[in-house]
Amino acid sequence: MKQKFNVTGMTCSACSAHVEKAVRQVEGVDSVSVNLLGNSMLVEYGGKTGPEQIIQAVTDAGYGASLPGPAGKAAPAARPADAMEEELAGMKRRFLTSLVFLAPLFYIAMGHMMGWPLPALFHQPSNALVVAFLQFLLTLPILYLNRNYFFTGFKTLWHRAPNMDSLIAVGSIAAVIYGVFAIYQIGYGLGHGDMARVEQYHMDLYFESAGMILTLITLGKFLETRSKGKTSQAISRLMDLAPKTATVLRDGAEAEIPVEEVRVGDRVAVRPGQSIPVDGVIVEGSSAVDESALTGESLPVDKGPGDEVFSGTVNQFGSFEMEAARVGEDSSIQRMIRLVQSADAGKAKIVGLADRWATWIVAAALASAALTWLLSGQVIRAVTILVVFCPCALVLATPTAIMAAIGNATRHSFLVREGDALERLAQVGKAAFDKTGTLTRGVPEVTAVRSLSPGVTEEQVYAWLARAELGSEHPLGKAVVRGWQAAGGGTPAPAEDFEALPGRGLRAVLDGHTVLAGSEALLEEAGAALPPAARAEAEGFLAQGCTLIYLAVDGAPAGFCALADTVRGEAAAMLRALSAEGVSPVLLTGDNENAAAHIARALSIREYRAGCLPEDKLNWIDRAQQAGVRICMVGDGINDAPALKRAFVGIAMGGVGSDIAVDAADIVLVNDRVEELPHLLALSRRMMTTIRLNLAFSMALNLVAIVLAMTGVLNPVVGALVHNAGSVLVILNSALLLKWRRKS
């Protein structure tokens, strides 16, 4: 069976990996997937294994676990974004308060080294104890505010699974302990007139290192929590999209009931503008339905008796009655919500380089300190090793590079919502694109007008269609009018009479002539069937993915208008640039085979999938990533939300995209300039190179400092300078990313 568990105490990807390892070792467990962002875990197990054994395994690993609800039942649905607000507010308060105390602490500690102006009392050896104690007092609130890192760090260290929190906890507490020892030495020196001792330890305080590390980590956690909250908004918006009530026909009367009470077989009435509450089949009436929530296609779909309709889609024009077929958790909108909720669980989580190395770094530092103490008998040397080891440069190596890269991305109209999104983007092998609104403009345009009557010109056909469609609310009709005006036709004269025919087209009277505009079926009903030659020409446009509006005048076919979603002018060059970076483009669209094939040929895309529903895109991404290919998904519609979350990296079009897609994505392209995507990819890879250089440098610096401290060569003052110089060099190297530009 499959069972979901809540997991507490996880702070990083190393934590989730440790939980997975612990649960996987339980007898009877077949698979386990931990969702760090959702603080949850999905376990498949069998045999005599029960939830108690799994919870115990997590507890033994140093974390907490519980079932989602009483007796393992799912808890009532709640808006996930609301649950993040309190945590986010707490993180923000801790960071800002820590910063208030860190600023004066850092200024006092480093002012004499950097030549900053300080009052005379800070320079007088006789006041060394006051200065040292002041630094200690400024550090205490920072330690208290960020005490959770010590709880987590030492807990994971105790369970032999240290992570970055362990690294921070050991290094910062060592700095504080040594600082307290230095205060004692300063006091002893002042009391006994030993000013050499005072001078030595006055310059040998590391309180600012502990404060800086804890404050920076708090900032990182705040940004991470904010990203988590933004991600959960996609689910909240989908919940808002789901209809709350339905109009059901019972005993010959209409009754409005909660959508949860609709049963299979119920007859449901749907009015214009309403969201369809459940999945079903139309039994009476016709209309045009906006299915963009499912397919991503902006054009409404004509529906009539016998056609299937889906929950969460919007009825546009006509009224109809339907028979409920799939209700409750089985409806399309609820399946979409579940897809988005589960997408993160299957998303590959990158384990940070610092987390991967944390075990060995902590072990090396502790072993070095212990060995030095045993061999030299000098506790001071051992503590000095831990202080020097305090990983300021290591902590700064990754976040400074990421922040600089994010700053660069922002200048190129990208909003990076997930902290490790650029890190993941550097590893993608394929980029999957939605069609409508991503590679195309998402708006139908007139591409051709054809006359089917010898006495009628194409311009006359276009004019008749524009006049007839002037009163239409249909997106295709509006596109015809807009195209006529753009071609210089001006505002068309209104029809003398107008009647919308939902699901089929319209009827109008123009200058005494009866005009029909709409589907081929509408013309056939009126006895104006297309001749074979005209049908062959029309099929040629249909094969290119066009949508056709047919025109009949006084019962005779007169012509047709072809409309299509046009390709973005910059799309082809962008795809070629991505291919040059080693990333293969793939087209995933809810449109028909003809339209998909036409776009793929126009953009030289070798791989494409047509007729994709949200679960189809999700399944394709799953199969690709299980085969070892990391996917970047680029989309804009509600239907793309599950795929955007499941993909290794999700990029949403912010200008034309839905709010739900934007909330589900890791990165948002604010102004829809797709030509910037190759720069973002190259930037992510440059960032990873910078991070590796930073980490290698900081670790080498720590290693050298530890060796020098072990041998007693490293002077405390010089050690402090080296310690802080390393941090500065890491920051400067990361800052180079701010103005980096991809070479064309």
pLDDT tens for residues 90-106?
Answer: 888 999 999 999 999 98
Provide the pLDDT for residue 582.
92
Residue entry with tokens 């007839």: 468
- pLDDT band for position 231 (50/70/90)? very low
Q: Torsions phi, psi of 691, nearest 5?
A: -60, -45
Which of 503, 547, 511, 505 has the alpha carbon at shortest distance from 526?
505
The pLDDT > 90 percentage for the chain reads 24
Q: In the chain, what are the helix, strand and coil shares in percent, each to the nearest 5?
A: 55, 20, 25
Which of 385, 279, 387, 422 has the alpha carbon at shortest distance from 712?
385
Residues labelled as active-site residues: 434
Reported as a single tens digit per residue, the pLDDT across 670-693 is 777 888 899 999 999 999 999 889
Provide the pLDDT for residue 348.
39
Reported as a single tens digit per residue, the pLDDT across 608-654 is 998 888 888 989 999 999 999 999 999 887 778 888 888 999 998 87
Highest averaged pLDDT of the listed ranges 25-29, 699-703, 704-708: 25-29
- pLDDT band for position 145 (50/70/90)? very high
SS3 assignment for 656-700: CCCHHHHHHCCEEECCCCHHHHHHHHHHHHHHHHHHHHHHHHHHH
Reported as a single tens digit per residue, the pLDDT across 300-334 is 788 889 999 988 888 887 889 999 998 887 777 77
Provide the pLDDT for residue 742.
85
Provide DSSP, 270-325. Answer: E-TTPBP-SEEEEEEE-EEEE-HHHH---S-EEE-TT-EE-TT-EE-S--EEEEEE
Provide the pLDDT for residue 139.
95
Which of 37, 58, 39, 40 has the alpha carbon at shortest distance from 2?
40
Whole-model pTM above 0.85?
no
Identity of the amino acid at 298: S
Question: How far, in Å, CA of 461 to CA of 480, rounded?
Answer: 11
